């Protein structure tokens, strides 16, 4: 049984595809760091990520399938599911093996897994757009922090840049400890070095927050409470559409 070990990056996976054709080897299993090695393996190949090779594979992929299908594959990769990498690898190889375009062969379990995972990752990016809450800081920067399940900040940041292009904002992924800062003109990826309480609780301390911040938070909590119809209380639906894992940083679910 042949196993490809790669570094866990998308470029690494595509380099693996390159290797599969150049070395004429087909792995039964593709493993990222932290992934489970199969119990019995005859041939373990360590894939050395090479961007020039992965780019060739990506460009070749774009000639075989539509841009939408290729981007679904790239997005599905972000699902951080070790068992899925083999499916993705196998399907990319199938694309190259087939004379016709196989991107709409929805009876292929690998393709269905790609669709499902890209849907999940896109859903998480949408939730960042939905549930990001900004607090206004004393210097007029709007500060927002979250812990999304997948690494999707780069998919959501363009939305915020377009929407709030006339001001300063920070969106921050606490789980991966990086974020984006927009100063009104330019967007930059950065890491915050502060160890103050807002980095753990998400709440800006009084000396950092704008003077009116508390007031508008209070107004929002009031609105949130009074817009619900008491005769129709439905906590199950609420949790379904707004999973509890997001509540930690939601203004309306915290504070007085």
Q: Does 159 interact with another protein (rule: CB under 8 A)?
A: yes
Find, among 181, 224, 4, the residue nearest to 93 by Cα. Answer: 4
Q: Read off the tokens for 27.
A: 């792995």
3-state SS class at 74 = helix
Instruction: Find out whether 213 and 198 touch, Cβ atoms under 8 Å.
Output: no
Of these, 62, 223, 245, 255, which contacts another protein (CB under 8 A)? 223
CB 78, CB 152: distance < 8 Å: yes
Compute the half-sphere exposure of residue 63: CA atoms within 13 Å on the CB side of its CA: 8
Q: Is 181 in the site for another protein (CB under 8 A)?
A: no
Decide: is 138 part of the binding site for another protein (CB under 8 A).
no
Query: Is 8 one of the binding residues for another protein (CB under 8 A)?
Result: no
Q: Is the Cβ of residue 51 or residue 228 nearer to another protein in the bound state?
A: 228
| Binders of another protein in range 16-45 (CB under 8 A) | none
Question: For residues 134 and 169, what is the distance between their CA atoms, to the nearest angstrom?
Answer: 8
* CA proximity to 161, closest of 144, 142, 184: 184
Residue 106 CB, shortest distance to another protein, in Å, is 4
Q: Does 133 bind another protein (CB under 8 A)?
A: yes
Interface with another protein (CB under 8 A), residue from 151, 167, 178, 248 = 167
Query: Which range of residues in 35-43, 80-88, 176-184, 234-242 is near another protein by CB under 8 A?
Result: 234-242
Contact 146, 132 (CB under 8 A): yes
Q: How many other CB atoms are there within 10 angstroms of residue 18's CB atom? A: 18
Told to check if 102 binds another protein by CB under 8 A, we report: yes
Binding site for another protein (CB under 8 A): 102, 104-107, 109, 112, 126, 129-136, 142, 144, 159-160, 162-167, 211-212, 215-216, 218-220, 222-238, 240-242, 250-252
């Amino acid at each position: 049984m042949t196993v490809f070990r790669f570094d866990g990056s998308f470029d690494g996976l595509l380099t693996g595809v390159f290797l599969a054709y150049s070395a004429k080897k087909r792995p039964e299993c593709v493993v990222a760091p932290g992934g489970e090695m199969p119990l019995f393996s005859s041939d373990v190949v360590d894939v050395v990520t090479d961007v020039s090779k992965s780019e060739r594979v990506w460009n070749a992929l774009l000639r075989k399938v539509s841009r939408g299908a290729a981007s679904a594959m790239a997005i599905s990769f972000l699902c951080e599911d070790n068992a899925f990498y083999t499916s993705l690898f196998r399907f990319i190889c199938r694309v190259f093996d087939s004379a016709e375009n196989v991107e709409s062969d929805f009876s292929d379990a690998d393709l269905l897994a790609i669709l499902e995972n890209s849907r999940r990752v896109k859903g998480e990016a949408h939730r960042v757009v939905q549930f990001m809450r900004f607090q206004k800081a004393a210097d007029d920067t709007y500060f927002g922090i979250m812990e999304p399940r997948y690494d999707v900040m780069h998919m959501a940041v363009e939305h915020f840049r377009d929407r709030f292009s006339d001001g300063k904002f920070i969106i921050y992924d606490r789980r991966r400890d990086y974020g984006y800062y927009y100063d009104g003109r330019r967007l930059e990826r950065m890491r915050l070095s502060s160890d103050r309480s807002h980095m753990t609780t998400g709440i800006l301390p009084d000396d950092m927050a704008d003077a009116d911040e508390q007031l508008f938070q209070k107004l929002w909590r009031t609105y949130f409470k009074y817009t619900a119809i008491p005769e129709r209380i439905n906590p199950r639906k609420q949790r379904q559409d707004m999973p509890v894992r997001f509540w930690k940083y939601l203004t309306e679910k915290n504070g007085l």
